[in-house]
Copies of this chain bind each other. A is one copy, B any other.
Amino acid sequence: MCEASAYIVRRDGREELILEGVDIVEPEEGSGGAIRIVSIFGEQKVLRARLKSMSLVNHKIVLEEAG
C-alpha cells in the first residue's frame, strides 16, 4: 500500500501527526491557501497550510501551518 502519513509543523515548531493512510493531497480551491488531504478510509481534513516536504518512498507528507 502506498498511502502516506501526513504531519503538520505547527507555528511553534512542533510536528504533529494529523492523518494516516493519506491518498489524496490537493489545494482546497477558493480557500486562499488551504490544503485538503483525504485518506483511503475517506477521512478528510482541510488545513490552512502549505506543503513543506514529501517522500513517497518514506510514506511521509509534511505540511507547514500557514502564518
Contact = CB atoms under 8 A, between A and B. Distances in A.
A25 B61 CA distance: 9
Say which size band chain A's interface belongs to.
Answer: 10 to 19
A22 interface: yes
A54 B27 contact: no
Contacts of A4: 56
Count the copies. 2
Interface in A22-62: 22-27, 40, 50-57, 59
Contacts of A2: 2, 56-57, 59
Contact of A52 (B22, B27, B40, B55): B27
Interface of A: 2-4, 22-27, 40, 50-57, 59
